Amino acid sequence: MSNLFLTHSIVGREQLTGFEFHPEKPYRFCCICGALFQDEQQRQITPDSHVEDIARATIARQEWAISHAKTHTEKEHEQLRMSGRAVTPEAAMRLVPYGISPLSDMVLCDEHEHAARTAPRLPQDDAEGKLTTHVGFSGVRNKA
Ligand SMILES: [Zn+2]
């Protein structure tokens, strides 16, 4: 079964200061805890971006996902797999304020629907990735 996510704008975003996450730019999130990754290079990606910049940003997201996955136990990964859900209710509660709603989970599971309905209206913090720590490519292209 494929899982459906609805991405939407962050209502009240203009009230947030120093908040840099953009749901329309590339990001990765954790399906177990809802942690989000989007560094500055993700936010600079446009349809006209150079293929190397897109590759570098893709690798950074992948590296974050691999590294972050290790912060959860094998049991946590297994529990999510066995649930048949895309994300945990905890992740749903964390993601909805960022404009990421796990639609199929919300429709099929009361616990997810409740989590999404009672989630904070605005994000409580920013996505991870304020410091780029990716490896594999050196240097950052300067665009005038
Ligand atoms: Zn996590």
Which pLDDT tens digit goes with each residue over 87-132? 999 999 999 999 999 989 998 889 999 998 899 888 878 888 864 3
Confidence of residue 143 (pLDDT cuts 50, 70, 90): very low
Please give the distance, rounded to the nearest whole angstrom, from the Cα atom of residue 105 to the centre of ligand 1: 18
> What's the confidence (pLDDT) of residue 125?
82
Residue 92 CA, ligand 1 centroid: distance in Å:
12
For the four alpha carbons of 140, 141, 143 and 144, in that order, the dihedral sign comes to positive
Containing 4, the helix (H) or strand (E) segment is none
Q: What is the pTM of this model?
A: 0.81
CA–CA gap between residue 1 and residue 84 (Å, rounded): 9
Q: How far is CA 133 from the centre of its chain?
A: 17
CA of 115 to the centre of ligand 1 (A): 17
Q: Name the residues around ion ligand 1, CB cutoff 5 A.
A: 30, 32-33, 35
Q: pLDDT tens digits for 32-81?
A: 999 999 999 999 999 999 999 999 999 999 999 999 999 999 999 999 99
Q: How far apart are CA 109 and CA 31, in angstroms?
A: 15
Q: What are phi and psi of 126, to 5 degrees?
A: -95, 170
